[in-house]
Amino acid sequence: MSSTLLILLPPRARLGRAAHSDAPPRAGQGAEPMEFEYLLSTDGLGLTAQGRALPDALPAASACVAVVPDGELSWHQLKLPKAARGKLQAALAGMLEEQLLEEADELHFAVATQADADERSWVCACHKSWLQQHLNALEQAGRLVERVLPLSWPGEAARAHVLDRLGDAEAQDHVLSLILSDARGVTLLPLDGPLTRQLLSPGVGELAWTASPDAVQAAERWQGHPVSVLAASARALQALQSPWNLRQFDLLPRTRGLQALRQWGRQLMSPAWRPARLGLAGLVLVQLLAMNVQAWQLKSRLRGVQAEMSSLLMGAFPATRVVHDAPLQMRQAADALRARAGLIGERDFEALLSAAATAWPADMPPAEALKFEDGRLAFPATSWSPAQIEAFKRQLASEGWTLDNQNGQLQISRQRGTAAGS
């Protein structure tokens, strides 16, 4: 059974800012090993297992993906430049330099899967060394991360998710944060910030509201209507439906061919492809059934032909008691009758000699030696030219005979399916 391991990457440590409550803890300091929070799913819809473990202790799975928290990503929309794939990331860094809060050479960029040059597209940016560090730690433990997914991404469906983030650890205060994702991008705001209601007021009723379990009550009070509960694990599972894969450019996995094959296989086995799988299985069954029916019909026809030949043999030669090869037995019986009557058969020496004499070239002397065996007449052709042999062969073929040239010997025999005198 196929399974997917989701590894939730911890956010970077920042001064004056801690990780939100539904994210895994940060990496340890110094040589302390890093633990990752993980989710294991067999169908992409429900959880089979979850927990936290070191990279080499993570459970085995058919596929392994990493999920990046919202606060580690920034989203930018621009017209993609015309640049070679190897130079596109540098071109994006130059175009986005004034919009970025960090140095462009410290960031990793990813573009939409179907994006084309000279078209407006979304570009995602994140800290490169932070992401590379986690990917290296996982792959050194034998966990090949095939996809890197965002928790939120720009899309036509407008969504608002509220979660509880820890503020100053000493003050133990709680700050509600809102993650808004729609066609305008992905925005991370404090829920009680002065611009939040102003930003949401034009289309607040069209949003699909969710909240983490520890923030749902506060979100309902702020919003004024019920809000669906969406745990961090369920939200991470939703990321599997994302059309994005941030593992691009110099962060591509080394086994890209195998990776593409495995990804295609998982897509084929996904619930969305179940009708296609059933249709393909039905088509194969129909083809097998048709082949079996055709084979049965051919066998039935063959048995009918064999029965007719056996009946013909028994009728023409009543002395035959057992039929095991009707054509051979009929020919042997006809040859025996012809021999008793003193007639020449098409495989006899006289018939072959007569055919050779009829087609013999006028400028060729008689054969030096003749050899007759099993319906074949052979003689040496060391003095024959290729043109003479070809003319001799055409003349014999017009009378229903075959000429073979083997090791300087010409062999005459009756063509298959040709009766004497035809």
* Strands laid side by side in the 74-79 sheet: 74-79, 120-127, 107-111
Residues 6+ apart with CB under 8 A from 146: 63, 64, 65, 247, 253, 259, 262, 263
Q: Write out pLDDT tens, residues 260-278.
A: 565 566 567 667 678 888 8
Residues 6+ apart with CB under 8 A from 206: 158
Distance CA 20, CA 8 (A): 13
**Residue found by looking up tokens 């473990």 in the block:** 53
Enumerate the H helices of 106-174 as residue ranges: 128-140
Q: Write out pLDDT tens, residues 342-361.
A: 666 777 888 888 888 888 88
How far is C-alpha 282 from the chain's CA centre? 20
Determine the length of the chain.
Answer: 422
Bridge partners (DSSP) listed for residue 76:
123
- pLDDT of 340 strictly over 50: yes
Averaged over 36-45, what is the pLDDT?
A: 91
Q: Report which of 77, 143, 76, 92 is spatially closest to residue 248, judged by C-alpha positions.
A: 92
* 121 burial via Cβ count (<10 Å: 0-12, 13-18, 19+): middle
**Which range among 163-177, 189-203, 393-407 shows the weakest confidence by mean pLDDT?**
163-177
pTM above 0.85, yes or no: no
Bridge partners (DSSP) listed for residue 17:
14
Q: Report which of 17, 275, 249, 221 is spatially closest to residue 111, judged by C-alpha positions.
A: 249
- pLDDT of 334 strictly over 50: yes
DSSP code for 272:
G
Averaged over 385-413, what is the pLDDT?
A: 88
**Residue found by looking up tokens 């944060």 in the block:** 177
Token pair listed for 88: 């596109």
Distance CA 389, CA 360 (A): 10
pLDDT at position 1: 64
The mean pLDDT of the chain is: 82
Distance CA 101, CA 14 (A): 14
Query: Helices 386-398 and 349-359 meet at what angle, rounded to 10?
Result: 120
Residue 21: band (very low, low, confident or very high) from pLDDT cuts 50, 70, 90? very low
Residue 421: band (very low, low, confident or very high) from pLDDT cuts 50, 70, 90? very low
Token pair listed for 378: 């052979």
Q: Do the beta carbons of residue 209 and residue 219 sit within 8 Å?
A: yes
- pLDDT of 166 strictly over 50: no
Q: Do the beta carbons of residue 253 and residue 146 sit within 8 Å?
A: yes
Q: Do the beta carbons of residue 259 and residue 267 sit within 8 Å?
A: no
256 sits in which H/E element: helix 256-268
pLDDT at position 2: 78
- pLDDT of 7 strictly over 90: yes
Residue 151: band (very low, low, confident or very high) from pLDDT cuts 50, 70, 90? very high
User: Which of residues 193 and 143 earns the better pLDDT score?
Assistant: 143
pLDDT at position 382: 81
Distance CA 179, CA 304 (A): 78
